[in-house]
Amino acid sequence: MRTAEVTKQGTNEALATAARTYLTRRRAVVVIAALGGTLACASVAALALGSESIPLKEIFAGLWAKLVGASSPLSGEQAVIIFSLRLPRIALALGVGAALAIAGAAFQALLRNPLADPYILGVSSGAALGSIIGVMLAGQVLIARPLLGFAGAAAATLLVYRLGRREDDPARLLLAGVVVTTFLSSVIVLLTAVADNVKLRNITLWLLGDLSSGSTEGLAFIGVAVAVGAGVLVLQARALNLMMIGERDAFALGVETARVRWIVFFTASLLTGAAVSGGGAIGYIGLVVPHLVRLAAGGDNRLVIPASALAGALLVLIADTTARTILAPRELPTGAITALIGAPVFVYLLVKGR
């Protein structure tokens, strides 16, 4: 009798958990709308906050005048701050956060490993190495850093995939990524050792995550990468849901696991490359954000991927706004703020999961 009661209780708990995490249209709309509304409010606040605060009324009036081509109520200095400094930086923060969070969610689902992260897999190190080479050899060419960073991410992706490819053990990709990361990090240290003082300072700030040095070309790279990458990964979300229970079972259910693995791995890797080449090494976004989204909205990748994009963009935007306002007019590296936020959250998730 006792065994039957325990079994019944376990079955009821499993059914209740499944009911809570089952994806419905209403759940998806509520989650996306909540994240989108919060992100919009944070973006408006980021426009107003800074070393020089600008009233929201004047900001909205200036934006409307810009759209319709009317005379702006903003002063010349305020117009430069809003349209030349803060708007591009906010857009860059949104793109970097979305790209890293989407990549992290995809890697964790593909490798069935909650610790899978774009930085652990070596992709960010490849992008960092390419970007540093661009700074040292062609620092005056604005498009050099995004292009070489993107190329470095692609090269690291091919190397990791070649070393870790195995049909029945996707975790080998994680081990190959750790090895490649160690090697590329050593090369980065050697390059920084021979850089002059000015380039060394720029490289150091960029490696800590610095959105203030982003360029229009880098922003364009990230925008295209996020739009294309998010679309590709959402199309693979159903297959990822099945692969999370095991690739053999997914293959038996008709999923072309090898093709899906290739598409997801390369798309997530190039998203990481675009984010790193444009905004520097900003950590913990791809590791923490997908965990929080799954806790709040369930584990269905059809919702996790777009929700992670919005949540990642929100977290990076909050971190960047904090970095440039907490000690204004001085600025802190955005990557340092994301680490201060992400590390305690991840420790809490580990303790709670235990």
- pLDDT the model gives residue 222: 83
Residue 162 lies inside a defined structural domain of this protein: yes
Containing structural domain, residue 330? 40-45+107-353
**Contact of 135 with 202, CB cutoff 8 Å:** yes
The structural domain count of the chain equals: 1
Backbone φ, ψ for residue 169 (5° rounding): -145, 80
- pLDDT the model gives residue 2: 45
Residue 172 lies inside a defined structural domain of this protein: yes
Residue 87 lies inside a defined structural domain of this protein: no
- pLDDT the model gives residue 308: 93
Q: Give the CATH number of the domain where residue 154 resides.
A: 1.10.3470.10
Q: Which amino acid is at 230?
A: A
Tokens for 335, please give them: 């990557």
- pLDDT the model gives residue 309: 93
Other beta carbons less than 10 A from residue 209's beta carbon = 26
- Residue 287, H or E segment: helix 285-297
Residue 186 lies inside a defined structural domain of this protein: yes
CA distance 309 to 104: 10
CA distance 77 to 179: 49
CA distance 282 to 339: 8
Residue 28 lies inside a defined structural domain of this protein: no
**Residue 348 burial (C-beta neighbours within 10 Å; 0-12, 13-18, 19+):** exposed
CA distance 219 to 270: 15
Residue 203 lies inside a defined structural domain of this protein: yes
- pLDDT the model gives residue 314: 94
3-state secondary structure of 116: coil
Mean pLDDT by 10 residues, the chain (354 residues): 44 41 77 92 88 81 80 78 85 91 89 76 83 76 73 82 66 79 87 78 76 69 87 90 80 81 85 82 86 86 92 93 84 84 79 67
Residue 2 lies inside a defined structural domain of this protein: no
Tallying the residues shown for the chain, one arrives at 354
DSSP string across 13-32: HHHHHHHHH---HHHHHHHH
Residue 245 lies inside a defined structural domain of this protein: yes
